[in-house]
Amino acid sequence: MTETAVLEEKPYIVDADSHWTEHPEFFRRLAPPKYKDRVPRVEEIDGVPTWVFDGHVMGRFYASGVVARDGSKASGSAIQDWSIEDLHVGAYDPKVRLEVMDAFGIDAQVIYPSSIGLGGQDLACVDDEALRRFTIELYNDAQARIQAESNNRLLPLPLMPAWSIEACVAEAKRVAGLGARGVNMTSDPQDLGAPDLASPQWDPFWATLVEHQLPVHFHIGASVTGMGFYGKYPWASHPINTQLAIGGTLLFIGNARVVVNMILSRVFDRYPELQMVSVESGCGWIPFILETLDYEMSENAPDDLRQMKRKPSEYFKSNIYATFWFENNFNRLSDLVNTVGEDRILFETDFPHPTCLYPNPLQSVEGKLSVLSEAARRKILGENARKLYRL
């Protein structure tokens, strides 16, 4: 088949970031009888629906979406006001999610949680470590079944028990055996009692991910530290929707912290085949941050810089992916492609969260991608993810 014929085929589309809203009964429906009152569930506390895990209050239940049951889209404050009955069924039902994808023209979709922490970090809130492990395995097993039943169209990433390096290694091996195509990791395991990710103590985990071809994913706000920042970014005098906008804006940039720390940890020198995805963080900031990182290291840490095999900015092209969805600056997108390469950008919709591309995600980015070649557009819309996730 000629290259021209290939380009005329329908593009393969992968949505690299979407979300579940965990149904209030999600864990109880999965758990055996002796655990039904201990796993996370939603209870009314002072009239407020609240997630409770083994008697520990995790926080208020939120619908975590703005796409309504009737298909309309609301403003960001809907996530605080809606019940599960108000939300689009595709936010939590895999069969309906596939129908949404078909309507969008999306072939496969990577999915992250919402209510239990974007990196699953909130499941570390109870003292009983065995219960924590059991709950994460319960979640991961359910996601593996969803993936298998969808014939790998739905790719809900498994969570890691990030309070323990040994437990992460074991769980990564286990989910690889279930067909996982990556792992969802908190960016700050030190919040949960483990070393931070710059520590070489994590090397057995990185080695396991490389061995099993599991890219590691860091979603914005995927840690106690990250969400702590989120609550402090806006000033309290702003209206609630404006506070949501401020928090959302700075959460995107917050993943620059994760990218920079991972590059300078030298993990990519030790494990050059390790792949990382910075999820829902946008991409316009990346050229500036990489240029800044090179400059700051040369000015402030030249001895440390000499220990690295490459300039800090060069690791993005070989080891890190960014996600793209809402940005409108055509020139900036071209600049990003020139900086990190067209092979390092993934398309996302963020369905059904407040910033999601809805109801016409592909049409909304068509003009934005028009400055790129047809081959580059196809890579960003799906081929890069198709390769990364072995689809």
Residue 59 lies in a domain: no
Say whether 108 sits in a helix, a strand or coil.
strand
Residue type, 149: E
pLDDT in tens, the chain (391 residues): 454 444 558 899 999 999 999 999 999 999 999 999 999 999 999 999 999 999 999 999 989 899 999 999 998 776 778 999 999 999 999 999 999 999 999 999 999 999 899 999 999 999 999 999 999 999 999 999 999 999 999 999 999 999 999 999 999 999 999 999 999 999 999 999 999 999 999 999 999 999 999 999 999 999 988 888 777 889 999 998 898 889 888 888 889 999 999 999 999 999 999 999 999 999 889 999 999 999 999 999 999 999 999 999 999 999 999 999 998 876 777 888 888 889 999 999 999 998 899 999 999 999 989 889 999 999 999 999 999 999 9
Closest CA to 278 of 345, 229, 368: 345
Residue 65 lies in a domain: no
**CA 205 – CA 184 distance, rounded (Å):** 13
Residue 330 lies in a domain: yes
Give the sheet arrangement for strand 320-324, strand by strand. Answer: 183-184, 216-219, 276-279, 320-324, 345-347
Residue 73 lies in a domain: no
What's the CATH code of the domain at 260? Answer: 3.20.20.140
Alpha carbon 374 to its chain centroid, in Å, reads 27
Query: What is the residue range of 130's domain?
Result: 3-25+83-388
Q: Which pTM was predicted?
A: 0.94
**CA 376 – CA 385 distance, rounded (Å):** 13
Number of domains, the chain: 1
Q: What is the tally of helices (H) and strands (E) in the chain? A: 17, 11
For residue 11, what is the DSSP state? P
Give the sheet arrangement for strand 14-19, strand by strand. Answer: 14-19, 108-112, 154-156
Residue 183 lies in a domain: yes
